[in-house]
């Protein structure tokens, strides 16, 4: 199910925006920066500071995750079912090294997602003939302009 390009985007960008629903149906979107691909149908992230996400997944394991390369305005959305593996469970110690996170010591649970649907995300700007190199140049320029400039005093 996961193509090589899908895996590449997850591995390169690692920041996925996770959507869950609270027990009353309220949507919740939360960024997670510890994503990894486990196999052709499974991705996972480490839970560090997300009690709402974990609470939502315990009540309703349905989940969606979006990954976007902001410079080319393309990415993927993955839907599936999540399983929360807590620190202390035997499977946790097996999963933890897969996340390759400098924050591994702070990970309290690993959320394993069995992907059931994977779809591309593409900006409508491509409908007008824009190319990836054009967008990459434009957005790289924009992000450079957003960076604070250091002031030096003599």
Question: Is residue 153 domain-resident?
Answer: no
Q: What is the mean pLDDT of residues 38-49?
A: 96
- Check whether 134 has a pLDDT greater than 90: yes
Dist CA 26 CA 4 (whole Å)? 34
Q: What is the CATH number of the domain that holds 11?
A: 2.30.110.10
Question: Is residue 151 domain-resident?
Answer: no
Domain extent, residue 87, equals: 4-146
Question: Is residue 112 domain-resident?
Answer: yes
Domain count, the chain: 1
Q: What is the pLDDT of residues 83-95, one digit of tens each?
A: 999 999 999 999 9
Q: What is the pTM of this model?
A: 0.88
- Contacts of residue 154, Cβ cutoff 8 Å, sequence gap at least 6: none
pLDDT, residue 126, reads: 93
Question: Is residue 83 domain-resident?
Answer: yes
pLDDT, residue 150, reads: 61
Q: What is the DSSP annotation of 74-126?
A: EEEEEEEEEEEEETTSHHHHHHGGGG--TTGGG--EEEEEEEEEEEEEE-GGG
Assign 48 to helix, strand or coil.
Answer: coil
Q: What is the mean pLDDT of residues 72-85?
A: 97
Assign 145 to helix, strand or coil.
Answer: helix
pLDDT, residue 86, reads: 94
pLDDT, residue 151, reads: 53
Q: Percent of the chain, pLDDT > 90? A: 84
Question: Is residue 154 domain-resident?
Answer: no
Question: Is residue 55 domain-resident?
Answer: yes
């Amino acid at each position: 199910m996961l193509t090589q390009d899908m895996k590449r985007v997850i591995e390169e960008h690692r920041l996925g925006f996770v959507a869950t629903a609270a027990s009353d149906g309220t949507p919740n979107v939360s960024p997670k920066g510890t994503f990894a691909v486990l196999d052709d149908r499974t991705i996972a992230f480490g839970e560090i500071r997300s009690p709402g996400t974990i609470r939502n997944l315990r009540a309703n394991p349905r989940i969606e995750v979006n990954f976007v390369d902001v410079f080319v305005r393309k990415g993927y959305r993955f839907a599936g079912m999540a399983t929360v593996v807590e620190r202390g469970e035997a499977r946790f110690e097996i999963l933890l090294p897969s996340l390759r996170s400098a924050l591994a010591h702070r990970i309290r649970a690993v959320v394993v997602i069995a992907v059931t649907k994977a779809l591309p995300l593409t900006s409508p700007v491509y409908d007008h003939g824009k190319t990836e190199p054009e967008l990459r140049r434009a957005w790289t320029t924009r992000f450079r302009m957003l960076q604070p400039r250091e002031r030096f005093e003599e």
